[in-house]
Chains A and B, each alone.
Chain A
Amino acid sequence: MPEKYRFLTGYMKTFKGGVSLPEHKDLTVDKKIRPIPPPFEMILPLGQHTGAPNKPLVNPGDSVKVGQCIGKAEAFISAPLHSPVSGTVKAIKDIFNPIYGKKPAIIIENNGKDTPVSFIKREDPESLPKEELIAIIKDAGLVGLGGAAFPTHVKMNIPKGKTIDTLIVNGAECEPYLTCDHRLMVERTGEILKGVYLVASILNAKNIFLAIEENKLSAIFAMEKATVQMKKEFHGKQIQIIVLKTKYPQGGEKQLIKAVLKREVPPGKLPLDVGVVVQNAGTCFAIYEAVYKGKPLIERCVTFTGKCLREPGNFTVKIGTPLKDVVGHCGGFTETPAKIIAGGPIMGIAQYSLDIPIIKGITGIVFISKKDLEIYEELPCIRCGKCVDICPVNLMPTDIGRMVKYSRWHYLDELHPSDCMECGACAYICPSRVPLVQYIKLAKIKESERK
């Protein structure tokens, strides 16, 4: 960390609570984004986002092209799916989806020719009407690339009667190990900014903030330089760079809004209820690609990292690439990993095998070595109150955990477990290793059953 930026400490914005984590980002932070060529067999799960799954538009035996829509989005909260390669559909069968369990997927054999459908390039998309831009984003199958994979077009459709005054671009990337957004902000600075301006013009947002954690100085510098250079290009509209304190979960929507604007999103409400839309920096890059280049979401930047990889790094990976084909491009393993996590090590999901495909919502894959593996046992809660001190949404995780453990369901009403966003900071800090997130998830289920 260069010392010259430490003076910013006083100006860094943040929220109340949260935890400081060991970052482990040095493994990949300097690694340039490299493309990984698609392998012979691609696995494309039908349903890689929050919302309704896709309906397949192809049958086994059909030939497909790069960018061809192969999965239809039928509901409003859904996003279409496109083929990342050209080739033949081999089968539609159930596979293990890294996030959503055993779900059907389209298996495509890559013919290696990369024959694309014609992508419509647009020179001056800002002149297009809003509705058309949202339609382009929807048809490109864009989802939030920060991990939640919420369909992007839904976020851009502001219901009547609501106004958005602020767009916050999320460059916090607060999970340890992950560096894909950081690298995108350094290497695709101009493209991200063009995407940001598009989103801002669709939303009619007066203020645009780009919030980056203080541990990503190279991204902060690159963005500060580019915003000044590109000011003319965007009719004087100014993006403000916000330096955030490095703290988990700084990248959570509610925490980000609190840190940047001091606004709190009420329970059960959305950011747009307080006039804000938050978009991830990587999503803004994908929006640029979709609108300017006409390219649907068929690839994304992913961090493959961990001490077991010989060459960890940041890669552009085609959606649907099986994990086992990625490992070779990272130099192979120095030792067999003990645990594989899809996502970051706090909110990520442990994986059974290397056969899972990279899907839209995967920000990174962390390979944990045997030495770093944490095997723990739940001990009795000693009521130290650390979870209460750090909970970013002011809950009392220890009390919720205790009530769930002893089935005191009626006490849960006053403890509001539904406010929890499952960031896992409480479970991280717990000296007794109580699986608080799982208790709270159970509390949420019981709460909805009781209503």
Chain B
Amino acid sequence: MENNFYISQGPHQFTNTSVQKMMKDVIIALAPAIFASIYFFRIRAVILFAVSIVSCMAFEAIFQLFMKRKITILDGSAVVTGMLLAMIMPPSLPIWTCIVGSLVAIGLAKQLFGGLGANIFNPALLGRAFLMAAFPTYMTRWNMPFTLDAVTGATPLGLVKFTQNLNINYQELFIGRVSGSLGETSALALIIGGIYLLIKKTIDWCIPLAYIATVFVISSVTNMIAPDTYAGAVFHVLAGGLLIGAIFMATDPVTSPVTKTGRWVFGIGCGLITMIIRLWGGLPEGVMYSILLMNAVTPLLNRLTRPRRYGT
């Protein structure tokens, strides 16, 4: 029996959360929105999700192989990136474009920066930003649900912005029967996933709350000032990518601040930039750029919002 004991440094007891469990929680939380998008966009959704997830995992393995890193495609992070990437793609996107998006997301945004935990920008969003710059026509061709390749229709945000059409059907918007990216349309499904993540404490509530509240306040004020030009607060919260951004993208632990104060600033900053782009920018939607811009200032926020030194 002598000297057969396991030796390690303390602590000898751990919390039961782990990176894999957190990734699993995110996948579970994304499930309602994925089912909703498969319901609304049928076979296109299935194809894009499959292509995106498989290509993200494949690129992760290829890059890790070439960069002589340990291959960790089973830790769930590549799967999550693949899911999120597909969710923010238009349903009619050609398959090869989706693969290019995965390459940028995993290769450029994640692995070249050092892999899991070392990236500055949210991989899925950077992948989308690249496609937006490289293939703008594919990225702005929207389908109405159930109609697949036949009928194109502008997104609710596009309608409001470019046609000043303020006749909004809130019920359709909440359930998600509107045109838009695959996984962003159903507010209901996203909120269910968000509640799950909050209960499981996988995400911090500061960022989603700060983000959505900022959007709500700004859109309320602008709506009050000019009700004929600007849509109301509920519309701005439910429409476009705000909920998927606030719940699943801005809360990505790697690219958001580690301090509580930092997270509040991060959330408010995201809300501000989103609303500036939505109301006065050239694009109908600003969630993607707002989060990417705030990702860029995250290291600065971490430095500026260090907790007060104990006892001083």
Contact = CB atoms under 8 A, between A and B. Distances in A.
B33 to A, nearest CB: 22
Nearest to A385: B258
B10 A424 contact: yes
Interface string A429-445: 11111010110000000
Interface residues of A, number: 64
B5 A382 contact: no
Nearest to B21: A431
Contacts of B6: 338-339, 350, 373, 375
Contacts of B263: 385
B234 interface: no
B307 interface: yes
A254 B118 CA distance: 34
Nearest to A266: B311
B257 interface: yes
Contact of A382 (B4, B254, B307, B308): B254
A394 interface: yes
Contacts of B306: 396, 414
B7 interface: yes
B13 interface: yes
Contact of A389 (B75, B260, B302): B260
Contacts of A399: 258, 302
A265 B310 CA distance: 8
Given A267-B312, A345-B11, A437-B10, A340 B19 contact: no
Interface in B260-286: 260, 263
Interface string A354-386: 110000000000101000011110011111110
Contacts of A354: 1-2
B309 interface: yes
A383 B262 CA distance: 13
Contact of A381 (B1, B7, B11, B117): B117
With most chain A CB atoms within 10 A of its CB, the pick from B5, B256, B302 is B5
A339 B309 contact: no
Given A21-B13, A349-B10, A350-B7, A385 B259 contact: yes
A394 B19 contact: no
A25 B17 CA distance: 22
Given A264-B310, A382-B253, A385-B259, A428 B5 contact: no
Contacts, number: 153
Contacts of A419: 309-310
A22 B8 CA distance: 20
Main secondary structure of the interface of A (DSSP, over half): loop
A416 B309 contact: yes
Contact of A345 (B2, B5, B12, B308): B12
With most chain A CB atoms within 10 A of its CB, the pick from B3, B4, B10, B312 is B10
B12 A368 contact: yes
A428 B309 contact: no
With most chain A CB atoms within 10 A of its CB, the pick from B9, B13, B117, B263 is B13
B104 to A, nearest CB: 21
A380 B22 contact: no
Contacts of A350: 5-10, 12
A282 B306 CA distance: 38
B153 interface: no
B116 interface: yes
A374 B13 contact: yes
B306 to A, nearest CB: 6
B4 A374 contact: no
A376 B260 contact: no
A27 interface: no
A341 interface: yes
- Which 5 pairs of residues, A with B, have the shortest CB-CB distance? A385-B258, A380-B117, A266-B311, A394-B307, A384-B253
Interface of B: 1-15, 17-19, 21-22, 75, 115-118, 204, 253-260, 263, 302, 306-312
Given A254-B310, A353-B2, 12 more contacts: A176-B13, A266-B311, A345-B11, A354-B1, A376-B14, A382-B254, A383-B255, A385-B257, A399-B258, A424-B10, A431-B18, A432-B117
